[in-house]
Amino acid sequence: MSKKGLDKNSIIGLVLISAILLIFSYITSPTEEELKAKELAKKKQTEQVEKENTTENAVVPAEQSEEILSVDNQFVEKDSLHEIALLTQYGPFTNSLKGESKNFTFENEKIKVTIANKGGRVSSVELKDFHTYDSLPLMLFNEDSSRFNIELTIPGITGGNSIRQINTEDLYFETAETEFNISGTDEKSISFKLYGNSKNQYIEYLYTLKGNSYVVDFNVNTVGFDKILSPHSNLFLNWSMFTPSQEKTIANQKNISTIYFQYNNSDMDYINPMKYEEQNLDATVDWIMFKQQYFNTTLIATETPFLKTDAKIKTIEIEEGQSENYVQGMGTDLTIPFNGGSQESFAMQFYFGPNKYEILEDVGYGIENSIDFGWPVIKQVNKYIIRNVFLFFNSFGLQIGLVILLLTFTIKLLLFPITWKTYLSSAKMRVLKPEIDALKEKITDKMKLQQATMSLYRQTGVNPLAGCIPMLIQMPILFALFRFFPATFDMRQKSFLWAEDLSTYDSIYELPFSIPMYGDHVSLFTLLMAISMIFYTKANSQMTAGAMEGPMAGQMKMMTYLMPIMMLFFFNSYAAGLSFYYLIANIITILQQWVIRKWIVDEDKILAKLQSNKVKPKKKSGFAAKLEAKMKEAQQLQERKKKK
């Protein structure tokens, strides 16, 4: 400081010190919640004083009076500290910590939905038209093995950037509704509200149930939350469940149960059901599906997609021996956008129902694509050919076994021209076998023998690859049927002959031990299918006799016996409906080949026609000319090497 007064630096220092003191005073000043906590503690002390005054005139020994006062003071102090701690943690939602747990049941013709007031969540769902393999009510999930929570972010008690996380699953929602049952075209909404500081500040879960539907509309509405939530915060949804066992074996259910999801206006994706992993979602999401073998629970964002912020999905393995009642754990974290408005709404839907293509297609949003009909080409064959034929026969109300029989007959009838072409090609190769054998005796050089053989084929008009092309054409249909039956809901719990459920294996004998890769039971449909395959492969070997020689013929003979054994092991624990299909398909194919050989294809006439083709002028195809040229080049190269 100079004699003239305060210098410039001194003035700046005083201003800074004053600013620091003001800021410190503001930060350390008690918040509204802390003032409430102090008032609550003061109120407790006042009540205690009043209580002591009312008991002054009671005749109590002095020592006992001191003990009572000491104990009461301890209780008051503990209660007050507990109340302060709760107020510090839950802030405006402290009053919602107390309540009596109640469940409310709402149902229509299809589903029975139970909603718990604690957390306001759907705690369990029963599908009324179905039951488990053990004839018990079919529950999609249960209260004690599922979670549905929205995480709210509110400012911390110290102000600034501090925050607190509040979980709705810990709090009691209020509702004025009672249980109801609706049907037909009726619908009704149920409101559960979680209040903040007043009745003008709340989050609402609004459920709307319609008659004869597997869909429940679910809206999350916020009112006055702009004054409660931290700025720029969203609503973070945590949803998970352990799926209960519903079918005959847990192993088969595990092979199919997983999480499916769809990015906004994009393709569907899923976690490999054979893996347990966690994935971060890289874009906004339209829906998340927890898929079981024949049923699923799907959460759909109907208007605005879920945000990608902190969004992820995961599948969780249930430890072996931990529980025999659950199949797999699935979970997801999703973000519901909150734009800071005084009133906001986020529209969703729950689907609680079967994995039936037609029903899922009616729900929309592309969730029907979760039905695993196979790879793209195979999926199209299943969707537009196999499924429509199956639905046609199933519409007559026939036993599902008869539907499979008619489906198989129809497919084999459609494929008959291909079967005939294949047999005809094999017959041509068969009648040419004597001439090919004669060439082998005359020509010892392999290259020249190949040229002579190709020349013979060209002269007679025989294409050695003609038998392969029809097989390639029918392969997509064969693979499609392999994927169609396990994915078809209509086979579930449908009996036929000795099989009580065509969607799982049929067991005629339980083994006292388990055979690796085979199991501890004998499936009769699989056994019959393996036997039919032996006859089928033998018929094929007779049909292709002459077309295959050498190592190829030996491999074909080995496959005659190896393939049925492999199928016996592979299909023993598979769906009986699929084994039944292959059994019928093999029998029909054997009959078709017998009919073709007996009445359609005359090998003497084929031989005569091939011989007549020799005298006709031939025009080489471009492919044949190139092949012959390549063979001549190879022969010349081989001769030059020999000369050296």
> Which tokens sit at 284?
């906004």
The rounded average pLDDT for each run of 10 residues, N- to C-terminus, in the chain (644 residues) is: 50 61 56 56 51 44 45 52 75 90 94 96 96 95 95 81 89 88 90 94 96 96 93 94 93 93 92 93 96 97 95 90 84 95 96 96 95 89 92 94 95 86 79 81 79 77 65 76 89 93 92 89 93 83 58 62 85 91 92 86 77 68 61 68 64
pLDDT at 535: 87
Torsion-angle region of 540 (φ positive above 0: left; ψ -120 to 50: alpha; else: beta): alpha
Please compute Rg for the chain using Cα positions.
38
Contact 127, 297 (CB under 8 A): no
Cα 377 from chain centroid?
A: 21
26 Cβ contact partners less than 8 Å away, ≥ 6 residues apart: none
Alpha helix ranges (H) inside 318-372: 357-363
Measured distance CA(118)–CA(390) in Å, rounded: 46
How does DSSP classify residue 230? P
> Which tokens sit at 187?
């619908």
Closest alpha carbon to 292 in 315, 325, 319, 258: 258
pTM to 2 decimal places:
0.79
Per DSSP, the three-state class of 324 is coil
Alpha helix ranges (H) inside 182-269: 250-254
pLDDT at 49: 43
Contact 515, 453 (CB under 8 A): no
pLDDT at 10: 57
Inter-CA distances, 343 with 92, 120, 220, Å = 18, 19, 11
pLDDT at 3: 42
Inter-CA distances, 565 with 68, 518, 559, Å = 84, 11, 10
Inter-CA distances, 602 with 95, 598, 616, Å = 92, 8, 22
Residue 273, H or E segment:
none
β-pair type (326-336, 235-244): antiparallel
Measured distance CA(519)–CA(522) in Å, rounded: 8
Measured distance CA(451)–CA(630) in Å, rounded: 10
Contact 387, 398 (CB under 8 A): no
538 Cβ contact partners less than 8 Å away, ≥ 6 residues apart: 560
3-state secondary structure 87-130: HHHHHHHHHHHCCCCCEEEEECCCEEEEEECECCCEEEEEEEEE
pLDDT at 321: 66
CA atoms within 13 Å, Cβ hemisphere of 83: 19
Measured distance CA(491)–CA(157) in Å, rounded: 59
pLDDT at 602: 76
> Which tokens sit at 334?
């999703």
Measured distance CA(560)–CA(212) in Å, rounded: 53
Measured distance CA(389)–CA(385) in Å, rounded: 6
Cβ burial, residue 267 (10 Å; 0-12/13-18/19+): exposed
Contact 342, 314 (CB under 8 A): no
Strand runs (DSSP E) across 408-495, as ranges? none
Measured distance CA(643)–CA(641) in Å, rounded: 5
Contact 489, 356 (CB under 8 A): yes
